[in-house]
Amino acid sequence: MSIGTQTAQRTVTVAVRGLTKRFGARIALDRISFELYAAEVVAIIGPNGAGKTTLLSILAGVLNPSEGEVIRTPDRRFGWVPQEPALYSKLSVAENLRLFARLERVADPDQAVAAMLAQIGLEDRAGEEVARLSGGNQQRVNIAIGLLCEPPALLLDEPSASLDPRQRERLWEFIGGLAGRGTTIIFSTHNVAEAERYAGRTLVLGDGELLFTGTPADLERAVSGGDTTLDADTPRLAGDFESAFVRFLHDRGH
């Protein structure tokens, strides 16, 4: 069950053109191009060192590309939620949000904090120290920080990596609600079953190259027939998405 829309209205949130990133002699991203759409949920998957975090960091404006460009529509900064929570454990939920609202130079920090508390469903725990929250609720606060400036897109690096299954389910319900209200969601994950379940589209990276973009079902059909342009009526590969993903990487030398 994917969440978000299937790009029906095709309203572009971001266009990536020829994106390249070098760290010395190493090429972390190699001439990547794609577009993201309003309310779309996109998963970035690939083996370790594929360039997933580097790509998200460039989209977030944390890193600058060596070549290429990122065109944002509208031209506003995206929300960025790194894998390590940017929280102060001894401060309360509201104090964390208020601090980051001021750092983000939000016009009305108190109003923004109240809105975020309502959005993440933690109004009754606003005065509680973050350290006392469950991992799932801490991640909600972490995401709320990324939403303070009301970004058109939210970027998440391994958002559910440290959560148990129930916390993960609740987190994705929350993220699905954001997509339902028009926010573009792009997330990286090593859990390819999570990508299959929640993403309307996947980007597969390998050694810095964009190897594939399409739905999880498209990837299975590509592996089944060896052709990414197979008709939608082509039968899906017998087996699970993870098997198809591993075979896809193997067939392309990754």
Burial code (b: 16+ CB inside 10 Å, e: under 16) for 203-221 equals bbbbbbbbbbbbbbebbbb
pLDDT in tens, 41-56: 999 999 999 999 999 9
Tell me the DSSP string of 54-67.
HHHHHHHTSS--SE
pLDDT in tens, 108-120: 999 999 999 998 8
Which residue did the predictor score with more confidence, 232 or 75?
75
pLDDT in tens, 74-94: 888 899 998 887 799 999 999
Asked if pLDDT for residue 4 goes beyond 60, the answer is: no
Angle of helix 109-120 versus helix 93-103 axis, rounded to 10: 130
pLDDT at 229 (0 to 100): 44
pLDDT at 155 (0 to 100): 97
Looking at CATH, the fold of the domain delimited by 1-78+151-209 is given as Rossmann fold (3.40.50)
pTM equals 0.86
Under the banding of pLDDT at 50, 70 and 90, the label for residue 5 is: low
pLDDT at 1 (0 to 100): 61
| Half-sphere exposure for 53 (CA within 13 Å, toward CB) | 11
- Spell out the domain ranges in the chain: 1-78+151-209, 86-150
Asked if pLDDT for residue 3 goes beyond 80, the answer is: no
Asked if pLDDT for residue 127 goes beyond 80, the answer is: yes
